Chain A
Amino acid sequence: MVSEEKESILWEVFIQPKNGLSHRHCGSIHAPDREMAILSARNVYSRRGEGQSIWVVKSIDIVSSDPDEKEETFSSDDKIYRHPTFYDVPDDVGHM
């Protein structure tokens, strides 16, 4: 009975709380198509007016980096000249 059915598509859900803020990941849902994905996302993740816009994206379409390669991907410790404190400016210049 259960095993005969195929696993339905997994979608990642992003909600924008209001204009001016970006869409933020809040979880995932299962649905056979995009219309039902939006509908389920609304029912599951927005029962108290949490958002004004929902994105759903098939999980399988998300490409992500490998956390074990974090150093290679993100290291910028050797580029301290990218930070404002690297530059000497006289104190009496005030806030810059």
Chain B
Amino acid sequence: MARKQNEKIVSLEEFQEKIDRDEKIEPKDSMPEAYRKTLIRQIGQHAHSEVVGMLPEGNWITRAPTLRRKLSLLAKVQDEAGHGLYLYCAAETLGKSRMEMNQELLSGKAKYSSIFNYPTPTWADIGAIGWLVDGAAIMNQIPLCRCSYGPYARAMIRICKEESFHQRQGYEIMLTLARGTKAQKEMAQRALNRWWWPSVMMFGPSDADSPNTENSVKWKIKRYTNDELRQKFVDAIVPQAEKIGLTVPDKDLKWDKKRNNGQGGYAYGEINWDEFWRVVRGDGPMNNERISAKQKAWNEGSWVRAAAHAHALKKQTALQAAE
């Protein structure tokens, strides 16, 4: 719902007490400006990621190997569009207009998840995306269902309900290829090799280099730090890879019984942060293609929006004349 500017200023202490009592914050409640800004940035980036995330997969809709796969992929991509819209709607409740967010995406000012700046050269990449990228997204999104900001938490609940089909369809693709011919298994392994590190990087910079984390945790926007989520992801995925006979491309990967407070977890190798920052700053393999595709879609859709607007006006005029 559109936000009405609230004049009353809440003190930081009062606000923190409310958060500590696990009360949700709703659009018209008073909130510190920094809380509002953090959420607008985070929800906006999240929405853009869903929308740009349609592109690498859309690349394979016309070439899906069977009708069953094509139906699943179409439904998945349509879900991503829906998820983007739930999130834009949540961001709008904080007072930022849809048009403004759209403009920031098209101009390249707004960020979205770097993972979508990698290409999808084979069908196996679609499997790897569903399994790893959606898997990482679910890790990130489940704790967000308990986020302190009501509209964001509610959008995340809807999204998480729909997301698990995405990961399962991806894993099923990988499983099928891994049990197929030698060439198919190799294709699956190469896709895992391409997507593993970018997926591990999806959780963002390590905690020591993540300036936004402290406030976000304090305000219960985030419930876990980047490194905590990354560890959960690695621990979940490694056995899934073993199960289908694929190898996670990390020679330093080994069981470490000290991890997770002594419960054990996987130690993993050094992340290439130079690559991470390079792609964030716009120099990834597909950054330009992604933004160009969005600009093209927006420009080519211009006449549709104009026609819908004209039609609405015409009907409104006819209705008024009849009254």
Contacts and interface: CB of A to CB of B under 8 A. Distances in A.
B227 interface: no
B28 A47 contact: no
B311 A33 contact: yes
A64 B92 contact: no
A44 B85 contact: yes
B308 A36 contact: yes
Interface in B203-253: none
Given A7-B98, A44-B86, A47-B82, A28 B92 contact: yes
A68 B78 contact: no
A5 B103 CA distance: 11
A68 B8 contact: yes
A84 interface: no
A21 interface: no
Given A2-B102, A27-B86, A7 B162 contact: no
Contacts of B316: 33
Interface string A1-40: 1110111101010000000000000111110110010000
B6 interface: yes
A12 B1 contact: yes
Interface in B1-35: 1-2, 4, 6, 8, 26, 28-30
A80 interface: no
B312 interface: yes
Given A7-B98, A33-B311, A47 B103 contact: no
A77 B158 CA distance: 35
A64 B28 contact: yes
Interface band, chain B: 35 or more
B162 A48 contact: yes
Residue among A2, A26, A47, A66 having the largest count of chain B Cβ atoms under 10 Å: A2
B contacts with A: majority SS: helix
A30 B315 CA distance: 18
Nearest to A43: B82
Contacts of B311: 32-33
A33 B82 contact: no
B152 to A, nearest CB: 12
B106 interface: yes
A27 B89 contact: yes
A72 B235 CA distance: 51
A47 B312 contact: no
B258 interface: no
A6 B302 CA distance: 12
A62 interface: yes
A67 interface: yes
A3 to B, nearest CB: 7
B260 interface: no
B28 A33 contact: no
Contacts of A33: 308, 311-312, 315-316
Interface in B63-109: 75, 78-79, 82, 85-86, 89-90, 92, 97-99, 102-103, 106
Interface of B: 1-2, 4, 6, 8, 26, 28-30, 75, 78-79, 82, 85-86, 89-90, 92, 97-99, 102-103, 106, 154-155, 158, 162, 298-299, 302, 305, 308-309, 311-312, 315-316
30 contacts: A1-B299, A2-B102, A2-B103, A2-B106, A3-B99, A5-B302, A5-B305, A7-B98, A8-B98, A8-B305, A10-B92, A10-B98, A12-B1, A27-B85, A27-B90, A27-B158, A28-B89, A32-B308, A32-B312, A33-B312, A36-B308, A44-B86, A45-B82, A47-B162, A59-B2, A62-B1, A64-B4, A66-B28, A67-B6, A67-B28
Given A27-B89, A67-B30, 13 more contacts: A2-B103, A3-B103, A7-B98, A8-B305, A8-B309, A26-B158, A33-B311, A33-B312, A47-B75, A47-B162, A48-B162, A60-B2, A67-B29
